[in-house]
Structure 1
Amino acid sequence: MNAEEILARLVAFPTVVGRPNDEIVSWIRAYAEGVGATVTVLPGPEGDRANLFATLGPRDVPGYVLSGHMDVVPAGEPEWSSDPFRLRRDGERLYGRGSSDMKGFLAAVLAALPALGARRLARPIHLAFSYDEEAGCHGVPHMIARLPELCAPPLGCIIGEPSGLTPIRAHKGKAAVRLAITGRSGHSSRPDQGLNAIHAMAAVLNEAVAQAKALEKGPFDGSFTPPFSSLQVGVVQGGQGVNIIPDTCAVELEARAIAGVDPMRLLASIKAEAVALAKEGFGIEWTLLSSYPALSSRENESLATLLSELTGHDPIAAVSYGTEAGLFEAAGLPAIICGPGDIARAHRPDEYIETGELAACQMLIEAIGARLQAEDHNSM
């Protein structure tokens, strides 16, 4: 099967984040095993979702990990020109949910497997396909924890998020939380008999705004745009009517941190403001929605050099969005972002990837395989 045919099969699996993914995992497993890969399915604690890890070449020597996620964001927008879960070709564009983010990368990797399998690889290529990345990288930590039993410590990890096949060396870390405050309802004419959860939340929101402003003063890292960590409240919910004392109010907020800064630490003063409300009789629920560390450029120089040589693109220093790369780096694996497509096409109607982008990515994977065939165990 060529990359376009494989992509059509992958897009047809409606692997929306948070839903079961056994069908796509089974299909990829059968395909990869059919071309000689050793495949391990790694069920997650949810019970209906799994990661997949596959290897071509010897497992007992260091090689490269090709990492991507199998889940996609929902596709309920009415602006879609066609069924988002049926790949549609129009000229050189291939439309479908996940075509750029990031089933295009998975398809290119899988299309390259027969050529890789035909080589006598001195070092392995591993496939690390995860679930629920779009929920905040929920699946991949379970797979990373199992790596010591699956392979020798890798040389590095290439995360195939859409980057126009340009290596990206760093990204910000992120933490997102939901805060729910519970008060006591009543008629608005008797505020003395109730506990207004929205009024209580105002103190928390003031602290969030103050913290966001303070972050603009540094510390700075000029690799990023903006060059400082950031914080925002993205969702506020509460109240039933203007004449009812609101007994609940909830917010969702996030912090995005430059390398070297813990995103959870940026939320600490806001959490403290919320916890203090308990002394006034309010109920407080602080729930972590997602968290992943920043990716720095300290350990991926050799990966950047390799990919720059093979793609012809100079590395980009940093981007402000996040990926699973930070989690691989935190586990001691050098990591870098490099994949086909464009992040600007992701998470929107009529998402697409170009056939030339698929072909270029497949050529890149095969070129990495050629390096692993040509090099002996001591030369990399």
Structure 2
Amino acid sequence: MPIADPDPTDAAALLDRLVSFPTVAGRPNDDLMTFVADHLASCGARVHLLPGPEGDRSNLFATIGDPGRPGYVLSGHVDVVPAEEPEWQGDPFALRRAGGRLIGRGACDMKGFDAAVLAAVPALAAMPLAAPVHVALSYDEELGCRGVPHMLARLPELCAPPLGCIVGEPSGLVPVLAHKGKAAVKVTARGRAGHSSRPDQGENAIHALLPALNAAAAQAEALRDGPQDARFAPPYSSLQIGTVAGGQALNIIPDRAEACIEARGIAGVEPRSLLDPVTTLPGVEVEWLSSYPALALDPDHDLAALAAAISGNAPVGAVSFGTEAGLFQQAGIPAIICGPGDIARAHKPEEYLTEAELAATVEMVQALGRRLC
């Protein structure tokens, strides 16, 4: 069972509590956000719960220090991917300790960072901060960063323009300057059902979808020879067909077929534009599922130097996975990635963060506070 009233400075206990809330992306998160809001308020932070348009989940924005002064944002998301794999050795929503590992869904991606920030807040609140520290927690990041745009739209009324944002996605506490952007779309073709022995009396939706699938496959190949950026792996923008569905039975003419397609663009490439060969075709319906821009921070930016100083690690060029950092940058807030753990552990059974990684993250956040005094 999770600890009922965790020590407000005990990061492992706070992580235990956060993991116990099964905040799978697309589901309500009010219980978790209420717990976090109460914790932050008890430490003296100014807390704003920001309900999203869905009505059953919220973002949270809190400030330690004077919100009227420019400060720094520590950004994390509270949603997780499902945990239905049979390889879990225990309840994925009950944190387990084993050999220095803290095991549970979201422990690495990215409730560990969230817990470390919460554990550091009492120390931050006791410091004479000359610039504030903001805590920004969002929902539905795993569905394509759907929650954070609603929070970013509210920032002008909550604080002075921030000087920078540290997004705590797993990077081994190594600052990361850039990541790819992403766009995802669902394309649907419709037909008319009938008996397969009389194709002349129906319209085959799967056949109608083929031009979109062929266009996507051709674009994926063409992008290999497109603009290159050696910081990424692979060094080019990419596109893939992720799912295809249609038809009821072999002897029924399918009346509906759909495919979900994603594109990932290197810095400087608009991800949605990569899908133009698909979305501009006649005969298909287009539904945009998600979209967020790439991140590109100048290596000489003050935020890069700050992240290096508080983490103890020199920045690296880029990662290929996406984060909310690109959206902060798009909103005019310089952003960088720097969080505990390894992205290779995320979205897998027995996901974990080590106790040492968690403690190092608490120290990094406190180091930020000390530099702002």
Identity within the alignment, % = 62
Partners of 1:131 and 1:265 in 2: how far apart? 26
Give the C-alpha shift of residue 299 in structure 1. Answer: 7.9
- SS across alignment from 2:108: coil
After superposition, where does 1:3-42 map in structure 2 within 5 Å? 3-42=11-50
Residue 240 (structure 1) shift: 2.0
Q: C-alpha distance in 2, partners of 1:205/1:115?
A: 54
Q: Which amino acid aligns with 1:195?
A: E
Letter aligned with residue 14 of structure 1: P
- What is the rounded CA distance, in whole Å, between the counterparts of 1:139 and 1:272 in structure 2? 28
What is aligned with 1:262? 270
Bigger mean CA deviation after superposition, 357-366 or 300-309: 300-309
The answer on 1:220 being equivalent to 2:228 is yes
SS of residue paired to 2:50: strand
The structural deviation recorded for 1:247 is: 1.2
Q: Does residue 169 of the first structure (1) align with residue 172 of the second (2)?
A: no
Aligned counterpart in structure 1 of residue 157 of structure 2, from 149, 153, 167: 149
Match of 1:240 in 2: 248
SS in 2 for 1:321: coil
What CA distance in whole angstroms lies between the structure 2 residues aligned with 1:173 and 1:10?
28
Point out the more displaced range, 85-94 or 284-293. Answer: 284-293
Q: Hey, what's the Cα distance between the residues in 2 that align with 1:356 and 1:299?
A: 28
User: 1:343: which partner in 2?
Assistant: 343
Report the Cα distance in structure 2 between the residues aligned to 1:254 and 1:222, rounded to whole angstroms. 21
| Superposed displacement of residue 285, structure 1 | 2.4
Offset of residue 214 of structure 1: 1.0
- CA deviation vs aligned residue, 1:107-155 (integer Å, no higher than 9, x gap): 0000001111111101000000001111111110000001111111111
CA distance in 1, matches of 2:214, 2:33: 46
On the 8 A contact 2:177/2:299 being kept in 1, the answer is no
TM (normalized to structure 2)? 0.96
| Partner-residue secondary structure (3-state), 1:358 | helix
**Structure 1 residue ranges (4+ consecutive) displaced by more than 4 angstroms after TM superposition:** none
1:359 matched to 2:359? The reply is yes
Structure 1 residue matching 2:61: 3-state secondary structure: strand
Whole-Å separation in 1 of the counterparts to 2:192 and 2:299: 52
- Residues 1:83 and 2:91 aligned together: yes
- In structure 2, relative to structure 1, the CA distance for the partners of 1:161 and 1:300 (3 Å cut) is farther
What SS does the corresponding residue of 1:134 show, helix, strand or coil? helix
Quote how far apart the aligned CAs of 1:243 are: 2.0
Looking at structure 1, the residues matched to 363 and 263 of structure 2 have their Cα atoms a distance apart, in angstroms, of 37
CA contact (8 A) 1:6 1:107 kept: yes
Q: What residue is the counterpart of 2:211 in the other structure? A: 203
Paired with 1:314 and 1:299, the residues of 2 have a C-alpha distance of 10
CA–CA separation in structure 1 for the residues paired with 2:310 and 2:201: 70
Instruction: Give distance in 1, aligned partners of 2:121 and 2:314.
Output: 26
Distance of 2:212 and 2:285 partners within structure 1 = 13
- Classify the secondary structure of the residue corresponding to 2:102: strand
Task: State the one-letter code of the partner of 2:72.
Answer: Y
- What does residue 378 of structure 1 align with? none
CA contact (8 A) 1:300 1:335 kept: no
C-alpha distance after superposition, 1:83-118 (max 9, x if no partner) = 111110012100011000000001000000111111
- Alpha-carbon displacement from aligned partner over 1:236-271 (angstroms, at most 9, x marks no partner): 111222222111111000010011111111111111
Contact 2:310 2:365 in 1 (8 A): no
| Cα distance in structure 1, aligned partners of 2:298 and 2:216 | 31
Q: Aligned letter for 2:238? A: S
How far apart in 2 are the matches of 1:302 and 1:64? 12
CA distance in 1, matches of 2:192, 2:200: 11
Aligned to 1:280: none
3-state SS in 2 of match to 1:51:
strand
Contact 2:203/2:253, CA 8 A, preserved across alignment: yes
Cα separation, 2, equivalents of 1:299 and 1:41: 34
RMSD: 1.1
Q: Residue 98 of structure 1 corresponds to which residue in structure 2?
A: 106
SS at match of 1:245: coil
Gaps of 5+ in 1: 278-283, 374-380
Per the normalisation by structure 1, the TM-score is 0.94
Q: Distance in 2 between matches of 1:312 and 1:113?
A: 20
SS in 1 for 2:109: coil
| Partner-residue secondary structure (3-state), 2:319 | coil
